[in-house]
Chain A
Amino acid sequence: MRPLFPFHGGIHPAEHKSPSTQHGIAVAPLPARLVVTLRQHSGSPASPVVAVGDQVLKGQLIGAAEGLISSSVHAPSSGRVVAIEKQPAPHVSGLPDLSIVLETDGEERWVERQKMDFCNTDPALLRQHFQDMGVVGLGGAVFPSHVKLNASGLDTLVINAAECEPFISCDDMLMRERAAEVVKGISIAQYIMGAREVLIGIEDNKPQAIAAMQAACEETGFEVVAVPTLYPSGSAKQLIKLLTGKEVTSGGHPTQMGIQCFNVATVYTMHRVINHGEPVISRLVTLTGNMDEPRNYEVLIGTPIGDLLKLARPKADTTGYLMGGPMMGVPLLDLSVPVVKATNCIIATSQALFPPLPRAMPCIRCARCAQACPAELQPQELFWFSKSRNFEKAREYKLFDCIECGCCNYVCPSHIPLVQFYRFAKSEMLAHEKDRKAADLARERHEFREFRQEREKQEKAARHAAKAAEMAAKAAETTAGSGESVAGADDAAAAKKAAIQAAIERAKAKKAAVKPQNVDDLPAEAQAKIDEIDLRRAQASETAGQRVAIQKSDEGQGA
């Protein structure tokens, strides 16, 4: 028996998992319309690579990843692109987001699927492949997996199958029915990261899943560890602490300690990508709560949630819907929003299941939140600082280590919505950080501009001085030939002449700079001058880059 290292705090909310595990996974029918948002993952949204009217095949790339922290998006079924526009998205803000709308043709024609022999492929190529195939963390955070996979020589790979939030059972059902495939996915992640040890953490309220996984893991060396049921053991940092006894440092990454953690559904999609050549176009969604037929469904990404709910038939007294679990989920304001990669569960709420909270009372400083906090923070202090917008202090008290699990809300005898305050403070701080970065960039560019202007001024002065000196030398040469007696007088005259000439040059240059330069009948000399100045300006400006410089030199040759 493996020793466990319990984390601090945690709570035991009512589980409500059994209703949705009475039947096996069913496949949701193909909807007539699929709405695929381009922001299926955290980081920058994908950019569309199809146009309205295009015919697409099932699994075809429709949105390409933009940058490192991003992932690709694929057509969940074959059909025609009818719109690329802002559509309602399942986001807590209720704001619409850029989406690709597909009209399905019902034929489900696949693109060419290429299986990969991962054992003989470079891990870097596999990571790139995962980004192209849209593999993201399906536990809820939807962080692009290829970024997390970027480590080697790990001590421990932790597979997060704890599924600690009440009501949700999609990972449970996945392991019961597709344990062998999950294990194949784990082997892929293990190969990429070179992990010596693989631990699969499953809460002990899922005995069937534990048994299925243990059977599938025989002769693989992977260890299935039953962990006590305690919310939030399914949070990555808490599960790592629980299984290995190592704590992820504040602001640090688990890979720094030779550990990485993946959700069980994520490794399943890795298996589908490598061994079947299928990108991430569907996921398991638990439909549960106040419903007549709660069940887990395999749902295509982009299926409107309203269509999906008809399958599980919500009861008449349903008051609303939550996406995600009751602890961390967000209320759905609009049922036309589509399923996204983060949608693990949809809960129908009712007065009986979710009785309205009593009104919030002032904080009585009981510190129960501090006892419950799995991140070992001081939630009551964070609450004070967030409430009074004292963000600097909130940062000092490690607000950014808060995992927003909601344990503090759950135990608060005053029913204060603590997590809402943390989310508010965090997003204010992030916005401020963004503004500060923009200001720093602007300052840097402004200072460089000033430096450049000063340098140009000096260069100009130096050039004129050189020209004047040259003229003076020339004049001196001619006078030296004619006789030394008049040399002194001639020298003075030549210097004067050169100075006047320089002044004329300056005036000319100034005039040319002020004049609109699209006048065509400029004297050739002035035009050359302007071209010279422009060329220098173009070279000095990094942003204009090579393009302008090349154009300018072409023009110069033409003239």
Chain B
Amino acid sequence: MENYFLILIGTVFVNNIVLAKVLGLCPFMGVSKKLEAAIGMGMATAFVLTLASGASYLINQYLLGPDLIYLRTLSFIIVIASIVQFTEMFIHKTSPVLYQVLGIYLPLITTNCAVLGIPLLNVQENHNFIESLFFGFGGAIGFALVLITFSAMRERLEGADVPLPFKGSAIAMVTAGLMSIASMGFSGLVK
């Protein structure tokens, strides 16, 4: 039990997928202009990541086995792409508003390196099925947390007296860098 808790804390804070592992920067910069969009994106990513890490564990363990390691990346991408497609259709049907808000970034979850990175890290760390799910879920929560925090900051930055050359994406990049440095304060919290 403690193990799962540590995985969760570790992925959310210490080895945050965005700030420490620097994965998934495309939606991090792209969907952080509005708080509502960031919340939706965080939720969608959490759903996709958890499913993807579970599914890829099963595929890796039972379908590929030790013989077909070279198909790992390929099959993971196929599974992730299908899950994203499924999620997109589901959201389109159930919440057109969220679908609208997420817009182009929803299909882009497919090419989100965080979503591929987590299943690969799962394999690397030899997680079992439950651990994989926790690892995926924790990673997604970490991603959502940082994304939402960042978008809240960016909303504020819109009204700040930023020097002209730094306006827009430049100051957002600086902010992301500062957030990353700040998150280093968590290192050592969990081994």
Q: Chain A residues in contact with chain B, CB under 8 A?
A: 362, 383-388, 390, 393
Residues of chain B contacted by A393 (CB below 8 angstroms): 155
Contact partner of B158 (CB less than 8 A), chosen from A362, A383, A390, is: A390
8 A-B pairs (CB sep. < 8 Å): A362-B161, A384-B155, A385-B159, A386-B159, A387-B158, A388-B155, A390-B159, A393-B155
B191 within 8 Å of A by Cβ?
A: no
- Report Cα–Cα, A390/B34, bound state, in Å: 10
- Report Cα–Cα, A390/B160, bound state, in Å: 13
Q: Which residue of B lies closest to A365 (CB)?
A: B156
- Report Cα–Cα, A133/B22, bound state, in Å: 73
6 cross-chain pairs, A with B, having the tightest CB-CB distances, nearest first: A388-B158, A388-B159, A387-B159, A384-B159, A362-B161, A384-B156
Chain B min CB distance to A380 (Å): 10
Chain B min CB distance to A397 (Å): 12
* Beta-carbon contact of A383 and B159 below 8 Å: yes
Residues of chain A contacted by B156 (CB below 8 angstroms): 384
- Report Cα–Cα, A383/B160, bound state, in Å: 10
Residues of chain B contacted by A390 (CB below 8 angstroms): 155, 158-159
Chain A min CB distance to B23 (Å): 30
Known contacts A387-B159, A390-B159; can you find 16 more A-B pairs with CB under 8 A?
A: A362-B160, A362-B161, A383-B159, A384-B155, A384-B156, A384-B158, A384-B159, A385-B159, A386-B159, A387-B158, A388-B155, A388-B158, A388-B159, A390-B155, A390-B158, A393-B155
Residues of chain A contacted by B155 (CB below 8 angstroms): 384, 388, 390, 393
Number of interface residues of B (CB under 8 A): 6
Contact flags (1/0) for B147-191 with A, using CB distance below 8 Å?
000000001101111000000000000000000000000000000
Q: Is the interface of A mostly helix, strand, loop or mixed?
A: helix
- Report Cα–Cα, A398/B55, bound state, in Å: 46
Most buried by B among A383, A385, A386: A385
Q: Chain B residues in contact with chain A, CB under 8 A?
A: 155-156, 158-161
- Report Cα–Cα, A383/B155, bound state, in Å: 12
Chain A min CB distance to B133 (Å): 36
Chain B min CB distance to A498 (Å): 52
Residues of chain B contacted by A362 (CB below 8 angstroms): 160-161
- Report Cα–Cα, A393/B33, bound state, in Å: 13
Residues of chain B contacted by A383 (CB below 8 angstroms): 159
Q: How many A-B residue pairs have CB under 8 A?
A: 18
Residues of chain A contacted by B161 (CB below 8 angstroms): 362
Residues of chain A contacted by B158 (CB below 8 angstroms): 384, 387-388, 390
Most buried by A among B155, B156, B159, B160: B159
- Report Cα–Cα, A395/B158, bound state, in Å: 17
- Report Cα–Cα, A387/B155, bound state, in Å: 11
- Report Cα–Cα, A388/B157, bound state, in Å: 9
- Report Cα–Cα, A388/B35, bound state, in Å: 14
Chain B min CB distance to A82 (Å): 50
- Report Cα–Cα, A96/B188, bound state, in Å: 70
Chain B min CB distance to A478 (Å): 63
- Report Cα–Cα, A362/B160, bound state, in Å: 8
Chain A min CB distance to B148 (Å): 15
Chain A min CB distance to B154 (Å): 10
- Report Cα–Cα, A31/B175, bound state, in Å: 64
Residues of chain A contacted by B159 (CB below 8 angstroms): 383-388, 390
Chain A min CB distance to B84 (Å): 29
- Report Cα–Cα, A292/B161, bound state, in Å: 44
Chain A min CB distance to B71 (Å): 48
Chain B min CB distance to A394 (Å): 11
- Report Cα–Cα, A73/B160, bound state, in Å: 47
- Report Cα–Cα, A393/B156, bound state, in Å: 12
Q: Which residue of B lies closest to A384 (CB)?
A: B159
Q: Which residue of A lies closest to B35 (CB)?
A: A393
Residues of chain B contacted by A384 (CB below 8 angstroms): 155-156, 158-159
Chain B min CB distance to A382 (Å): 10
Residues of chain B contacted by A385 (CB below 8 angstroms): 159
Q: Which residue of B lies closest to A385 (CB)?
A: B159
- Report Cα–Cα, A386/B155, bound state, in Å: 12
- Report Cα–Cα, A362/B159, bound state, in Å: 11
Residues of chain B contacted by A386 (CB below 8 angstroms): 159
Chain B min CB distance to A550 (Å): 50
Chain A min CB distance to B51 (Å): 33
Chain A min CB distance to B106 (Å): 22
- Report Cα–Cα, A72/B177, bound state, in Å: 63
Chain B min CB distance to A27 (Å): 51
Q: Which residue of A lies closest to B160 (CB)?
A: A362
Chain A min CB distance to B157 (Å): 8
Chain A min CB distance to B120 (Å): 39
- Report Cα–Cα, A387/B158, bound state, in Å: 8
Residues of chain B contacted by A387 (CB below 8 angstroms): 158-159
Chain A min CB distance to B161 (Å): 6
- Report Cα–Cα, A362/B155, bound state, in Å: 16
- Report Cα–Cα, A315/B158, bound state, in Å: 46
- Report Cα–Cα, A393/B159, bound state, in Å: 12
- Report Cα–Cα, A90/B98, bound state, in Å: 48
- Report Cα–Cα, A387/B156, bound state, in Å: 10
Chain A min CB distance to B156 (Å): 6
- Report Cα–Cα, A287/B11, bound state, in Å: 69
- Report Cα–Cα, A390/B161, bound state, in Å: 15
Q: Which residue of B lies closest to A360 (CB)?
A: B161
Chain B min CB distance to A406 (Å): 20
Q: Which residue of B lies closest to A383 (CB)?
A: B159
Chain A min CB distance to B93 (Å): 26
Chain B min CB distance to A492 (Å): 55
Q: Which residue of A lies closest to B156 (CB)?
A: A384
Q: Which residue of A lies closest to B157 (CB)?
A: A388
Chain B min CB distance to A527 (Å): 54
- Report Cα–Cα, A301/B45, bound state, in Å: 66
Chain B min CB distance to A277 (Å): 55
Chain B min CB distance to A379 (Å): 13
- Report Cα–Cα, A385/B156, bound state, in Å: 8
Q: Which residue of B lies closest to A387 (CB)?
A: B159
- Report Cα–Cα, A354/B113, bound state, in Å: 60
Chain A min CB distance to B35 (Å): 9
Chain B min CB distance to A414 (Å): 11
Chain A min CB distance to B167 (Å): 11
- Report Cα–Cα, A77/B156, bound state, in Å: 56
- Report Cα–Cα, A535/B160, bound state, in Å: 63
- Report Cα–Cα, A393/B35, bound state, in Å: 10
Chain A min CB distance to B134 (Å): 36
- Report Cα–Cα, A393/B155, bound state, in Å: 10
Chain A min CB distance to B172 (Å): 14
Chain B min CB distance to A237 (Å): 27
Chain A min CB distance to B137 (Å): 31
Chain A min CB distance to B122 (Å): 39
- Report Cα–Cα, A388/B156, bound state, in Å: 8
- Report Cα–Cα, A415/B156, bound state, in Å: 19
